[in-house]
Amino acid sequence: MQAENFSLWMLGIQQDMEHTLAALLPDAAHAPRALHGAMRYSTLEGGKRVRPLLVYAAGELTGASEKNLARIAAAVELIHVYSLIHDDMPCMDDDVLRRGKATCHIAFDEATALLSGDALQTLAFDLLSQPMDGISPATQLAMVQTLARASGHAGMAGGQAIDLASVGQALSLPELEYMHLMKTGALIRASVMLGALAGTPLATDERATLDHFAKCMGLAFQVVDDVLDVDADSQALGKTAGKDAANDKPTYVSLMGLARAREFASELSSDAYTALEPFAEKAARLRQLGSYIVERSF
């Protein structure tokens, strides 16, 4: 019954997020049409919306309003999509498949893909900076800062730079973790903290505990991604399988082997669940979502 309840909750948020994003994105009928079309093409009708789900789950813990969570989750998802567009371009990972369809630069062109990523990034901060009922300007400023730091040189962009520079190199486990705490983990941690910030303020120790959960889940998410890159096919993944090995990129699987990588993901999730114990039932959705992240097959 709990699994069914979680599935319905997840599906409901995924559907609501699709509607929210469709309403917030510019109309493709308005100039510049190619840019607007590319933004909508890359954002809509695809993806598991894991980061928006984390925003909602953390917001449920602090009693945040769904109206505010929808806008915050949309901002986070736009940052994520922008990063995917840029990561897939020939100057980076040079991929042709994303979310089960042609990547943005293939469906449109490289210049349009670059600009659509730029536009999605700035739209995210536009959305996050607009007034939200019940959220103080100081808290909103903290939200903008949280997302900016997770997206920039000390977060996602920095992690991608390390990733590109590490092709063909054998990284140690601490080096690999450092890279993924930035590249993948920073935005996942920001998703949790942004959702929590939208509700009743947490004590300093509670924020630290919640951030530890998010840190562990961010790493677990990447470990599972590395496993699936080896263990699943392109149709299931919605992106090119085996790409990391083909590009000689360091991964958790290349470092520790497939079986040990699976065990490591399980250990990280156990650590994450332990961190949530002080929140008891208020953190139920975060626990369920953590299980989904670690046990997913695509």
Q: Is 94 exposed, middle or buried (0-12, 13-18, 19+ CB in 10 A)?
A: middle
The H helix count followed by the E strand count for the chain is 16, 2
pLDDT value for 1: 40
At residue 101, the 3 state secondary structure works out as strand
At residue 2, the 3 state secondary structure works out as helix
Q: How many domains in the chain?
A: 1
Residue ranges for the chain with pLDDT beneath 70: 1-4, 232-239, 241-242, 246, 297-298
Based on C-alpha coordinates, what's the Rg of the chain?
18
What is the separation of C-alpha 145 from the centre of its chain, rounded to a whole number of angstroms? 17
Tokens of 250: 């360091």
Taking residue 292's Cβ as centre, other Cβ atoms within 10 Å add up to 16
At residue 102, the 3 state secondary structure works out as strand
Taking residue 161's Cβ as centre, other Cβ atoms within 10 Å add up to 15
What CATH number did the domain enclosing 77 receive? Answer: 1.10.600.10
State which residues form the domain around 170: 2-295
Tokens of 153: 């040189």
pLDDT value for 78: 98
How does pLDDT run across 196-213, given as a tens digit for each residue? 999 999 999 999 999 999
Do residues 160 and 87 touch, judged by C-beta distance below 8 A?
A: yes
pLDDT value for 248: 81
What's 183's DSSP letter? Answer: H
- E strands, the chain, in order: 97-98, 101-102
How does pLDDT run across 18-73, given as a tens digit for each residue? 999 999 999 999 999 999 999 999 999 988 999 999 999 999 999 999 999 999 99
Report d(CA 66, CA 82) in Å as an integer: 24
pLDDT value for 249: 85
E strand or H helix at 127: helix 110-129
Taking residue 50's Cβ as centre, other Cβ atoms within 10 Å add up to 21
Q: CA torsion 215→219→225→229, rounded to 10°?
A: 160
Report which of 275, 280, 286 is spatially closest to residue 6, judged by C-alpha positions.
Answer: 286
Letter for the amino acid at 66? E
β-strand pairing of 101-102 with 97-98:
antiparallel
